[in-house]
Structures are given as structure tokens and as C-alpha cells.
Amino acid sequence: MMRTRFLALCATALFLCAQTRTVTDAEVQRVHKGALLIDTHNDVPWRVVDGFDIGSKTGEWHTDISRLKQGGVGAVFFVAYVGGEYVDGNRSAHRTLQVIDAIRKDIIGKYPTDFVLATRADEIEQARKNGKIAALIGIEGGHAIENDLGLLRQYYNLGARYLTLTHTNTNEWADSAGDITKAGVKHHGGLTEFGKQVVREMNRLGMMVDISHTADETFADALATSTAPIIASHSSCRALTNHPRNLTDAMITAIAKKGGVVQINFNCNFISEKFRAAQAVDDPKLEARFKQVTAGKKLSEVETDGTYQRLRLEMGLTRAQLSDVVDHIDHVRKIAGIDAVGIGSDFNGVTCTPVGLDDVSKYPNLTRALLERGYSEADIQKIYGGNLLRVMRAVEKAAGK
Ligand SMILES: [Zn+2]
């Protein structure tokens, strides 16, 4: 039956035969278990801060312990995300410490048989040997340091191993891609002199420089300033999906040339051009619905975007597909090589995930799709974690650690 269907496909669309092969469940399981899967961007901490228990089995949103295990996840960078709204009143550092505390106390501390804090590449591998999920900390939004290298050093001491130089807001030392065309925002043309000092201090400490969310000029300055490889912890390809937050081919190849890695984001808006374009269209019905559901509520920028997206989905917008994620991985491989690509899902940070990659339990579907697309076991091991481990080790080595 399957064979007949496969041959029928070949007759109608020859190119599919060259790109797909039949993969057994046993092969998917074997390859998936054999790879150390490191996801460099999971946003569940901002829910944990609000009281969500990662050990619960309610199936809420994208992440909990049982689904992480089901998905065969080896390591997660839990993100201390700091919204731009915390800049008002200088509350960014407080918020950062609050989220780091939630990661350390309410995720790792509360579930020590499931998680262990990892701060080095070796510790990720050791966690795997001990049957635990390695929990790492990344900070999202350079305003978290409140223009103080001392705070950056303290975050490192608390276990943070990357800093995303900006979120969607330009800060006092780095431009973001999120507000580059917004009137009234003071832009710097990339990194200021202090911004370059931040990058150099990260190099000295052994903290990965993350350029997801940054403006193209900030990316160029970070790349030129950093003496160690840099990462995009959760970004996809602009050549396939024309979002300013995605990376151009030139950026991807430059990251690869410096030994870094691009961790592909699963957000429908960053991986499907059809989805992105549909979202960009004004819709009076949507506006009316938005006013109805948000009446009287004060939402942050991220909550506003998420609400709009949820309403569009409810009103019939089609989600992205698992194959879209594979297309982005494939694009990086083609232009920059297999050593330059990894996984940075953005689970719990996005409203729309692709069909088939609904939450953290579904990674084996991605393994199947990659095998079907012709990726080898060794390729998948690199994409899932080998490349990121290589970058972490290079960053540690550059810092003399
Ligand atoms: Zn983000």
C-alpha cells in the first residue's frame, strides 16, 4: 500500500522521489535517541515566574517535563526573557534576576532528578550520561544589564551562557531589528563603543554572543568585534521568509565562516512566507475582534502580537508545516554547510508552531522528516547538538576556560 502510494507520487512529481525516502519507525527512534538534542531557545521560564509548574501534566502550551522526555530532549537553554517594558523605571535587572531565580529554583531546584544546571559543554554531555536533561540559562535582551558590565559578570556567575544583544527594542548600546523603522527611537547604526565592550567582556567571560533579534548593523559590529564564534539562538532564513528578524544569506555564511551556528526558529511567522505575508495584511474584522477580547487590558508588545496571531489563527489563518522547518535547515546547509545549523525552537515564546512540531514532545517528527529528506545520522547529530557543543567549546577556549 505504502509502496504503491510512493510510486504514484514519483509518477506525478519526479522531484519528490529524489528528495524523499521511506523511513521506518525503528530508524527514527534509533537516530533520535543517538543524537544529543540541544534546543537553544525555550521561553517557558516567563510562565514559571507566573506560577506554571513545569512538572505538571496539564498539557499547557509547549513545555513540561514529561513532554521534554517524550521528545527526547537532551539539553534546553531556558531563557531569562526581559521585555522592553522593563526599561521604564530601570526594572530590567530585577526582572532578569527574578526569571533566573525561577529557572534555578522552580525548574532545576524543584526537579533535581530530571534537570541539572549545565554551564559548560562537558556538563551537557555529563548530564546525558547521568540520564538528566541539562538545563542552561540564556538571557534575552541586552537591556538586562542596565548598561553595567558588572551586572553582565553577575549574570555569568549565576550560570547565564548567552546574552541576546537586543530583544525587539533597541537599547542604549545596540540596535534591534524590531524597531529599526519605528519613528522616535534613537538608533546607533549598530553597536555603540560600549556595545563593543559588552561583546569583548562576553568573550573574556566565555559567554556566547547571540545576534537573534538584532539589526543587521548590530550583527555586523558583533561579528567584527567578537574574537569567538557567535550564534543566532533562534533565527531563520530571510531568503525563504522575508522577515527582518531572519538572517540574510550573507549573514548566515559570515556566521559559519567564523565557526558559529544558526539555530532555526520554529515560529510560523519566521518559517512560512505565506503565513508572514497573510499576517501583514490589515483586516478590519480582526481589529474589531482584537478590541473585543482585549477591552480594558493593558498588553505588552509581545502579548499584543501574540493576541493578534491567536485571533488570526482562530479566524482561519493556516499554520506553517514541519516541512517549512526542514526547508530552513536545508537552506543553511546548502549555503553555509552542515556545521552551521542547529535548533532554537522558541517554544513557549510563540503563538504559532508548525503542524507536526506542536510542542517539545514532537521532535522525533523532525528527525523523521530530516531522514526522509536524505540527512544522515551524522548530519542529524550535528544539527541537534554537535554544532552547538563545538561553538560552546570554542567560546570557553577563547576565554581560557
Ligand atoms: Zn526571541
* Ligand 1 centroid distance, CA of 344 (Å): 10
Does 246 share its domain with 307?
Answer: no
What pLDDT does 24 receive? 97
Do 145 and 196 share a domain, yes or no? yes
Strands (E), 207-340: 208-210, 231-232, 261-264
Whether residue 122 sits in one domain with residue 47: yes
Q: How many CA atoms are closer than 13 Å to the CA of 245, on its beta-carbon side?
A: 20
The CB density around residue 394, as the number of other CB atoms within 10 Å, is 17
Range of the domain at 244: 23-272+321-398
For residue 388, what is its C-alpha cell?
552547538
Cα(4) to centroid(ligand 1), Å: 44
Is 82 a member of any domain?
A: yes
Examine the fold and report which residue of 319, 336, 351 is the final residue of a domain before the chain moves on.
319
Give the count of domains, the chain. Answer: 2
Sign of CA dihedral 310, 313, 317, 323: positive
> 154 and 256 share a domain?
yes
**Residue 129, H or E segment:** helix 121-129
Name the nearest CA neighbour of 190 among 166, 162, 161.
166
- Domain end call among 287, 303, 319: 319
Pair (304, 327) in one structural domain:
no
Region of 213 on the Ramachandran plot (φ > 0 left; ψ -120 to 50 alpha; else beta) = left
Please state, in angstroms and rounded to a whole number, the distance separating the CA atoms of residues 224 and 251: 12
Q: How far is the CA of 168 from the centre of ligand 1 (A)?
A: 8
Query: How far, in Å, from the CA of 11 to the mean position of ligand 1?
Result: 43
CATH number of the domain where residue 57 is located: 3.20.20.140
What is residue 330's predicted lDDT score, i.e. its pLDDT? 98
The pLDDT value recorded for residue 2 is 42
213 CA → ligand 1 middle, Å = 7
- Give the Å distance between the CA of 349 and the centre of ligand 1: 7
User: What is the distance in A from the centroid of ligand 1 to the CA of 136?
Assistant: 16
Distance 308 CA to ligand 1 centre (A): 17
Identify whether residues 184 and 143 lie together within a single domain. yes
What is the phi/psi pair of residue 166, to 5°? -140, 165
Q: Could you tell me if 287 and 260 lie in one domain?
A: no
Q: Nearest to residue 134, comparing CAs of 144, 142, 143, 124?
A: 124
pLDDT (tens, 9 = 90+) of the chain, 401 residues, equals: 443 344 344 444 444 444 678 999 999 999 999 999 999 999 999 999 999 999 999 998 999 999 999 999 999 999 999 999 999 999 999 999 999 999 999 999 999 999 999 999 999 999 999 999 999 999 999 999 999 999 999 999 999 999 999 999 999 999 999 998 999 999 999 999 999 999 999 999 999 999 999 999 999 999 999 999 999 999 999 999 999 999 999 999 999 999 999 999 999 999 999 999 988 888 888 888 888 888 878 888 778 888 888 888 888 888 999 999 999 999 999 999 999 999 999 999 999 999 999 999 999 999 999 999 999 999 999 999 999 999 999 999 999 99
* Whole-number pLDDT of residue 11: 44
Residue 214 lies in a domain: yes
State the distance from the centre of ligand 1 to the C-alpha of 291, rounded, in angstroms.
26
Residue 226 shares a structural domain with residue 289? no
- Last residue of a domain, which of 287, 319, 351? 319
Ligand 1 centre distance from Cα of residue 111 (Å): 26
The answer to whether residue 252 is domain-embedded is: yes
- Residues 301, 351 within the same domain: no
| Residues 391 and 362 sit within 8 Å (Cβ to Cβ) | no
SS3 234: coil
State how far the Cα of 124 lies from the Cα of 73, in Å rounded to an integer.
12
β-strand 160-164 against 208-210: which pairing, if any? parallel
Sorted by sequence, the CB contacts under 8 Å of residue 343 that are 6+ apart come out as 37, 38, 39, 40, 263, 264, 366, 383, 384
Can you tell me the distance from the alpha carbon of 124 to that of 122, in angstroms, rounded to the nearest whole number? 5
Residue type, 211: I
Same domain for 352 and 280:
no
C-alpha distances (whole Å) from 93 to each of 25, 117, 192, 202 are 47, 21, 20, 17
Residues annotated as catalytic (active site), given as ranges? 41, 43, 140, 167, 213, 234, 346
Burial 349-362 (b: 16+ CB within 10 A, else e): bbbbbbbbbbbbbb
Residue 9 belongs to some domain of the structure? no
In 3-state terms, what secondary structure has residue 24?
coil
Q: What is the DSSP string of 44-102?
A: THHHHTTT--TT--S--SS--HHHHHHTTEEEEEEEEE--GGGGTTT-HHHHHHHHHHI
Question: Is 54 inside any structural domain?
Answer: yes
Whether residue 17 lies inside any domain: the answer is no
DSSP-derived secondary structure letter, 145: G
- Residues 232 and 254 occupy one common structural domain: yes
Cα 260 to Cα 342: distance, rounded to the nearest angstrom = 10
- In this prediction, residue 346 carries a pLDDT of 98
| Cα 7 to averaged position of ligand 1 atoms, centre (Å) | 42
Tell me the one-letter amino acid at 61.
Answer: W
Do 106 and 126 reside in the same domain of the chain?
yes
Q: Confirm whether 233 is domain-assigned.
A: yes
Which cell goes with 142?
A: 541586552
41 found inside a domain: yes
